[in-house]
Amino acid sequence: MLLTRLGLSLGAAALAALHVGAPATTLVSAPAASSTASSSGPLAGRTVVIDPGHQLGNARFPRQINAPVDAGGFDKPCNTTGTATNAGYPEATFAWKVAVGVRDRLRALGATVIMTRHSNSRAKWGPCVDVRGKIGDRGYRGRTSDADLKLSIHGDGSAAGNHGFHVIVATAKKAESMPYALDTRAALQRAGFVRSTYIGAGTALSVRGDLGTLNWSDMPTVMVELGNMRNAGDARVMRSAAGQRRYATALASAAQTYLSR
């Protein structure tokens, strides 16, 4: 969910840890290493960044996640706690489970996958949205080229009567990311998921300039709000293992479609 929560400040030392690399004693969630299942398959040689939204422990670290970071020419909080179903099932856990499913499917197709976080832990927080956006970019942490694609996975927290998925692209990078957004929308619909009833005027597409994860990414990137976790029907699907597998299969299919052109 992309709502701003508590506003607190962060000291200089902790801010430095966010951007330089946190020491072993901190609990920031560091990005995982690249991984690939094999050197063969239809996506061999392609690299995909998967960003599971939030982190399960974010709520325990309000000072860190509310520190201001550059979200693309303006400041926003480092991260948020995310939303949850009315029964308390966290968005961070939903995003993580779907992301792992997408990762495994893409690896099976030969792709190299970079995860922006490697755990779903109550003892960890972050990474910040600017870091999530930069992971996979050429020049970030020594990369010599951009990754091919980035997918940021979320669940929304809207009014209970709203339901369905929507796909978000950055305003400044609409032209390069919209084809991937259309592939993502089509794949989710083929899997039986319904377009948002409250975002995008029936298109389930949203163009925004306020999201650091999208603004900092230098490759085609989409953010998906896969449903409204406050809607009873969406929540049943989103918290179920079968629903999470359907989401993962559809998202992996969309990435393959885009990368196979």
Q: What tens digit of pLDDT does each residue of 155-200 get?
A: 999 999 999 999 999 999 999 999 999 999 999 999 999 999 999 9
For the segment 80-86, the average pLDDT, to the nearest whole number, is 98
Q: What angle do CA 43, 99, 205 make, to 5 degrees?
A: 85
Cα separation, 18 vs 91, in Å, equals 23
Q: What angle do CA 102, 106, 112 make, to 5 degrees?
A: 120
Domain that holds residue 228: 35-259
Nearest Cα residue to 200 out of 209, 208, 190: 208
Is-contact 114 50, C-beta < 8 A?
yes
Residue 98: inside a domain, yes or no? Answer: yes
Residue 143: inside a domain, yes or no? Answer: yes
Residue 253: inside a domain, yes or no? Answer: yes
Asked whether the predicted pLDDT for residue 45 surpasses 80, the reply is: yes
Residue 4: inside a domain, yes or no? Answer: no
Residue 225 designated active-site: yes
For the segment 224-237, the average pLDDT, to the nearest whole number, is 98
Exposure letters 26-53 (e unless 16+ CB within 10 A, then b): bbbbbbbebebbeeebebeebbbbbbbb
The string of pLDDT tens digits covering residues 87-99 is: 999 999 999 999 9
Nearest Cα residue to 97 out of 252, 245, 251, 225: 245
Question: How many domains are there within the chain?
Answer: 1
Q: What angle do CA 43, 94, 120 make, to 5 degrees?
A: 85
Residue 9: inside a domain, yes or no? Answer: no
What is the pLDDT confidence band of residue 17, given thresholds at 50, 70 and 90?
A: very low
Asked whether the predicted pLDDT for residue 29 surpasses 60, the reply is: no
State the chain's mean pLDDT as an integer.
90
Query: Of 78, 225, 226, 252, which residue is the catalytic one?
Result: 225
Cα separation, 151 vs 171, in Å, equals 16
Residue 10: inside a domain, yes or no? Answer: no
What is the pLDDT confidence band of residue 39, given thresholds at 50, 70 and 90?
A: confident
What is the percent of the chain with per-residue pLDDT over 90, rounded to a whole number? 85
Cα separation, 96 vs 226, in Å, equals 13
Residue 145: inside a domain, yes or no? Answer: yes
Nearest Cα residue to 165 out of 225, 79, 77: 225
What confidence score (pLDDT) does residue 1 get?
A: 56
Cα separation, 149 vs 173, in Å, equals 13
What is the pLDDT confidence band of residue 40, given thresholds at 50, 70 and 90?
A: confident
Residue 59: inside a domain, yes or no? Answer: yes
Q: What is the CATH number of the domain that holds 60?
A: 3.40.630.40
